[in-house]
Amino acid sequence: MGEAMRTVTLVATVLLLHAVAVSAQADHARPPQHPASSQTDARPNAPPPAHLVGNWISNPDRISLTTAFDESVWGKNATSVRTVTLNVLASGKATITVTRKVLNAKGTAVPGSTSIERADLVVGAAREPVASRVEYETTVASAERRYPDMPDSKWGLDGLRVTLSTLEGEENKSLEVRFDTPEGRGSFWETLHRAAAPAKR
């Protein structure tokens, strides 16, 4: 098999594995259907409130892959795992990172299954509250998807939408994220919590 054919085969395999894993995550946690914020202007009118500033992280979202097709692709007792991190600066610049991978029965990442979606955001002031939910002006400045097992592989995520919101009274404890991919597959809603401060040396 020539080098070009091997490259094409590897790319096709990675995309197939990613689609299966993402599909499982999407079926498990579909985002609630509330109106998405406008994402056409990357310059908010005001900086974000102080309680949004800092590092946020999700608990790992784990799904057992138990169907016959899953087992034929990943092997028995495989698990799909998704983690989300968000960093918000006082200036309003923010970065969200979504890492997805499939772990085999031994807890080792299956080669080709890891994908990283990263988006640079601009976060602004709060919108008018709806019931107890407060959304914040959020725009996506740039976004891409890459596969660490293929260092040169990058795909733009034009059309990605990200919505940030909090519940009144919980602003300093939790942050809700809605992540809508351009293709729809792999979209999710997740609750983030403040990351522990690094230990002082």
pLDDT tens per residue across span 6-64: 433 444 444 444 544 444 444 444 444 444 433 444 455 688 999 999 999 999 999 99
pLDDT of residue 61: 97
Q: What share of the chain is helix, strand, coil (3-state, %, to 5)?
A: 20, 45, 40
Checking 165-173 for CB contacts under 8 A at 24+ apart, the result is 165/133, 165/134, 165/135, 165/136, 166/51, 166/52, 166/133, 166/134, 166/136, 167/132, 167/133, 167/134, 168/129, 168/132, 168/133, 168/134, 169/132, 171/49, 171/51, 171/52, 171/134, 172/51
What is the Cα–Cα distance from 60 to 105, expressed in whole angstroms? Answer: 17
The counts of H helices and E strands in the chain are 2, 10
pTM above 0.75, yes or no: yes
Examine the pLDDT at 161 and tell me if it is beyond 60.
yes
Give 189's strand partners. 178
Mean pLDDT, range 160-175, rounded to an integer = 92
pLDDT of residue 197: 63
Residue among 155, 157, 161, 118 nearest 139 (CA): 161
pLDDT of residue 170: 86
More confident residue, 184 or 39: 184
pLDDT of residue 172: 86
Per residue in 63-81, pLDDT (tens digit) is 999 999 999 999 999 999 9
Mean pLDDT is lowest, of 22-26, 167-171, 173-177, for: 22-26
Task: Provide the mean pLDDT of the chain.
Answer: 82
Examine the pLDDT at 191 and tell me if it is beyond 90.
yes
H/E run at residue 70: helix 68-74
Residue type, 194: R
CB neighbour list of residue 104: distance below 8 Å, 6 or more residues apart: 74, 75, 77, 78, 110
pLDDT of residue 163: 97
pLDDT of residue 198: 54
Mean pLDDT, range 109-135, rounded to an integer = 93
Q: Is 100 exposed, middle or buried (0-12, 13-18, 19+ CB in 10 A)?
A: buried
Write down the domain spans for the chain: 3-30+39-194
Q: Hey, how many other C-beta atoms are within 10 angstroms of the C-beta on 59?
A: 11
Per residue in 84-119, pLDDT (tens digit) is 999 999 999 999 999 999 999 999 999 999 999 999
